[in-house]
Amino acid sequence: MARPKVLVSLNEGPEAAIRLLSKECDIIAAPPSREAILERVPGVDAIYWCCKVKLDAEIIKAAGPGLRAVSTMSAGYDHIDVRLLKEMGIPFGNTASQLTDAVADTAVSLVLAVTRRLKEGHRTVERGQWDAGLLGIDIAGSTVGIVGLGGIGQTFAKRIKAFNVGRILYTGHSPKPEAAALGAEFVPFDKLVEQSDVIVVACPLNAETRGMFNAEVFKKMKPTSVVVNVGRGECIDQDALVDALRKKEIFGAGLDVMVPEPLPKDHPLITLDNCVLYPHIGSATVGTRAAMAAGAAENILCALKGQPMPSPV
């Protein structure tokens, strides 16, 4: 029997995936460009997605009728036409569980960086100056609000509890059974925004969460509060954030995700002392990326054998 063909959209070289997949399948590698993918996708049995190009109807349909499995090597799937895959009955999976620790660590590091004014401190030393009066915000005793208590939100909550925070609030669709063990209290979004000292956005991007942090919301936040985003850049209205940071309506922001990615070199967020930026490195550790690569490959191998994916969406 012919070996199944898997298109792998190469980004950062998912070696662990290639190793696993190539035991049973032929790999069709495509650089992460729309043109290259469209040229190589016809006739494949599966698609392994590892890039930011939109996996939309054009590419899915170009694959042809033999397409039997799609997996993304990411937790988020806002760049994938999941509705179409479902309509077509094509199994789709992601790597939701493999990156929770790494992304939660990233969120903690951004919280510390912003509350303790890391960027200003670094710039001060770089200028050959010394400012021992760079006063930050205490995490101990503070109220921490988590938007989206999924895997990443819960893992972040466990970590931040160790800083002796006062309260943990969270918001989302509905209360989560896991919240009790974390001592986290379910509240409406507005209450979380008004009462939190530190807010961490760890929710997926969808119609409800797009632009949920807008000018009105920043005005409701405490002037001493901090917002950290490890979800998706589009959850925050970035112009409104720039305005709020400039006017000191909030104390600071820490972003692992932004719009667009990469952020242009002359973007105002880069110049602001009270905004710490990472280049979307939430899951970027050697171990996490290897686990994600293997997880996405397993999703595809299982679906090709007619078995359930280990991490279906």
- Catalytic center residues: 280
Q: How far is the CB of 279 from ligand DGY (least distance, A)?
A: 11
Q: How far is the CB of 140 from ligand DGY (least distance, A)?
A: 28
Contact 146, 184 (CB under 8 A): yes
Report the residue number, 68 or 232, with the smaller CB distance to ligand DGY.
232
Tokens of 44: 């494949």
Report the residue number, 145 or 282, with the smaller CB distance to ligand DGY.
282
Tokens of 51: 């890039």
Give residues in contact with ligand DGY (CB under 6 A). 74-76, 99, 103, 280, 282-283
Tokens of 307: 């078995």
Report the alpha-carbon distance of residue 260 to residue 109 in Å, rounded. 22
Number of residues that this document lists for the chain: 313
Q: How far is the CB of 181 from ligand DGY (least distance, A)?
A: 25
Q: How far is the CB of 9 from ligand DGY (least distance, A)?
A: 14
Report the residue number, 103 or 275, with the smaller CB distance to ligand DGY.
103
Q: How far is the CB of 280 from ligand DGY (least distance, A)?
A: 6
Q: 290 to each of 139, 160, 200, 233, how far by Cα in Å?
A: 33, 26, 26, 25
Report the residue number, 74 or 171, with the smaller CB distance to ligand DGY.
74
Report the residue number, 221 or 257, with the smaller CB distance to ligand DGY.
257
Angle between helices 100-115 and 151-161 in degrees, nearest 10: 50
Report the residue number, 146 or 169, with the smaller CB distance to ligand DGY.
146
Q: How far is the CB of 65 from ligand DGY (least distance, A)?
A: 29
